[in-house]
């Protein structure tokens, strides 16, 4: 199973590297509600989702819980900051019982020196993470509340039934009351089209 993850999910073709990574790998199990990463901690391991559901969040200056991102796809990296040796900027918790691939960061960095494909994979994940968060920012500031909700449904198929509505509302920067109204409107008018630009209906 572990070797399949590296060959099929991360698409590493070097057999020697797959074996080295497999030997370094541990499977970390998280119970629902358990924190994988705490804000402010410097990370010693790299994590990839095998199964389950993750949420990244932070507390604002008033102590409010703000959802920053979700991880639901097999192979999704748990990325609390842009560099491995920097303190985590968010908390990452399991919203369901979840299993993670766990790799010691220092050893992986050493392998990068002799296996350039790891650098390519690392850079791809960073680029994907930046693009993903840019999409979120664009949706929050350029879409109406309805468009944001439709974007969420399209981007995270099936997640609406797996995540507490208060987390989704926080992620979309709307109130839970607004989210309930949007869900009802969309049920009543299922053919409402998602446009790429909108006003500033912030809920």
Quick: pLDDT tens for 58-78: 998 888 899 999 999 999 988
pLDDT at residue 31, rounded to an integer: 98
Q: Which of 27, 36, 117, 19 is nearest to 78 (CA)?
A: 36
Q: Are 74 and 51 in contact (CB under 8 A)?
A: yes
pLDDT at residue 124, rounded to an integer: 85
- Give residue limits of the domains in the chain: 2-106, 143-188
What is the distance between the alpha carbons of residues 184 and 130, in angstroms, rounded to a whole number?
Answer: 33
Query: Which residues of the chain fall below pLDDT 70?
Result: 82, 191-203
pLDDT at residue 196, rounded to an integer: 44
pLDDT at residue 133, rounded to an integer: 80
Look up the CATH number of domain 2-106.
Answer: 2.60.120.10
pLDDT at residue 195, rounded to an integer: 52
For the chain, the straight-line distance linking the first and the last C-alpha, in angstroms and rounded, comes to 45
């Amino acid at each position: 199973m572990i070797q399949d993850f590296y060959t099929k999910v991360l698409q590493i073709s070097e057999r020697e590297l797959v074996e080295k990574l497999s030997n370094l790998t541990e499977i970390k199990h998280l119970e629902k509600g358990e924190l994988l990463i705490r804000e402010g901690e410097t990370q010693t391991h790299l994590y990839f989702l095998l199964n389950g559901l993750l949420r990244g969040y932070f507390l604002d200056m008033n102590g409010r819980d703000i959802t920053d991102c979700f991880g639901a796809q097999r192979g999704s990296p748990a990325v609390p900051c842009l560099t491995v040796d920097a303190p985590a900027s968010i908390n990452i918790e399991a919203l369901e019982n979840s299993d993670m691939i766990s790799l010691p960061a220092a050893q992986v960095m050493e392998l990068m020196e002799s296996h350039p494909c790891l650098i390519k994979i690392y850079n791809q994940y960073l680029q994907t993470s930046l693009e993903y968060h840019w999409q979120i920012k664009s949706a929050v500031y350029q879409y109406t509340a309805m468009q944001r909700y439709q974007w969420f449904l399209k981007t995270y198929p099936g997640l609406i039934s797996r995540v507490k509505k208060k987390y989704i509302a926080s992620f979309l920067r709307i109130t839970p009351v607004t989210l309930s109204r949007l869900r009802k409107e969309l049920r009543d008018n299922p053919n409402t089209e998602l446009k790429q630009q909108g006003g500033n209906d912030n809920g």
